[in-house]
Amino acid sequence: MFLQTATKTVARRAGPLRVAYYTTSQTSPRTPYPSITIDYRIRSHRPLPLRTLYHGRFQQEDYLDLSDSRGVLADARDDEASPSTSHDGLNFPYINYWRKVWRHEEPKRREIAYFPFPVNTRGFLYFHQHRYPVASGLRFRIAQTPDLNGHLRGQDLLTPYGTPWHIPLIALATSPRYTSIVQVLQQDGYVPPQLYDCCVGLAESVANSTLGAFSQLLFRTWQPFYLDLANPTHKIFLVTQKGIGHIYANQIFSGEVYPFKSGVLLCQFENRRGRDTKGYLALRVLRIVEPVHYAERYNGNFEPPQTGQCIKFNGLEHAFLSKKPPRQRESVASRLLQMGKTGGKWAYAWSWNDLKTVAGPKWKYPWENRRKLDNRSPASAPAGSASS
């Protein structure tokens, strides 16, 4: 059961709606955790003999059962392919359902747990075709029957926080662990060399960060994402046509001491226009996934997050980027402002038509290749396949 509010009493100002101006100019230093404990709460492994990730070619052998296990990528052409039970190696070709991170202060250590897919996770791994090619990724469609109709009538597997289970294409393209998935996508016709190069180039633009299966990538405002308030350094990546930046939870709630001890929010950035500004961003809470608790002795001005409401600071809507930040502090602000805007080295990767022009007439998308089983266009793909 989701809780709708957090408990904290704050005096509200009367009068017309105003905004609390703020720029994301403060960057809190990260404190290293000398001890890391990894807990694999997974007891079974199932092979994933990937043949295709295009829904139009699905057959009965593409129907997978990942219930209470993790998937290990196998060669579909090898009938004797079997998964290893080893956890070792950054390049080991497996996919997990979920990861949870806890940070303990006394003694200072970090605990990471990996979880298996839920019971009754049966269906199809498929390539989710976003309106921006570069924002596409791997998803799992829960299906009742092992055929195309089952896929079309099914629903995407969700994370415990209510967002679709999703491995971003940028993570797939830049991790040796997912080489076999990228090869299948290239054979299907989804990923021409130019899109692959874009993913690699964007990943290289992220300073001192690694993009992985559980990274949250924002390509535009109004895109839902979750915030783990227990982790002040919870990171969100901001993807633009010029590169990738990131923002931490303690930057989003900057301006005073970090207010929260725990809680998880599903939220989104929204564009605003102000009479005395060129525009700013607000943060709306879509859902309170886990109860929000304030840090001990916190007596600041951030009001309790409320479902359906924007974050407020001392009675005013908390506004991001409402004033130009100093030039030396523009990185986070500029990334946020650039989301969804055109112009940049990788602009072609934000349009399937532009990508096709760059790839050349010989490159055929899955729905264009007449030698295949299905001639669907993007517009006739299953509901949600080309959505944001």
Coil, strand or helix: which one is 125? strand
Other CB atoms within 10 Å distance of the CB of residue 17: 7
Q: For residue 116, is pLDDT > 70? A: yes
Higher local confidence (pLDDT), 180 or 78: 180
pLDDT band at 334 (very low <50, low <70, confident <90, very high): low
pTM of the model: 0.81
> Which pLDDT value is given to residue 322?
44
> Which pLDDT value is given to residue 42?
74
pLDDT in tens, 276-295: 556 778 899 999 999 999 99
Q: For residue 166, is pLDDT > 80? A: yes
> Which pLDDT value is given to residue 104?
72
- Cα angle, residue 326 at apex, residues 221 and 216 outer, rounded to 5°: 30
To the nearest whole number, what is the mean pLDDT of the chain? 79
Which of 135, 151, 122 shows the shortest CA–CA distance to 190?
135
Q: For residue 329, is pLDDT > 70? A: no
Q: What is d(CA 161, CA 6) in angstroms, rounded to the nearest whole number? A: 17
pLDDT band at 3 (very low <50, low <70, confident <90, very high): very low
Higher local confidence (pLDDT), 208 or 151: 151
Structure tokens, 307: 């479902």
Altogether, the residues listed in the chain come to a count of: 388
Least confident of 187-196, 265-274, 292-301, 370-379: 370-379
Which of 181, 169, 178 shows the shortest CA–CA distance to 136?
169
Top-confidence range, 160-174, 205-219, 241-255, 372-386 = 160-174
> Which pLDDT value is given to residue 262?
93
Q: For residue 164, is pLDDT > 60? A: yes
Asked if 41 and 114 count as a contact pair (C-beta separation under 8 A), the reply is yes
CB-based burial, 159-181: b 16+ in 10 Å, e otherwise: eebeebbbbbbbbbbbbebbeeb
Structure tokens, 295: 């840090």
pLDDT band at 245 (very low <50, low <70, confident <90, very high): confident
> Which pLDDT value is given to residue 26?
39
**What are the DSSP calls for 205-216, one per residue?**
TSTT----TT--
Sign of the Cα torsion 205, 206, 208, 214 reads negative
Q: What is d(CA 34, CA 17) in angstroms, rounded to the nearest whole number? A: 46
Q: For residue 75, is pLDDT > 80? A: no
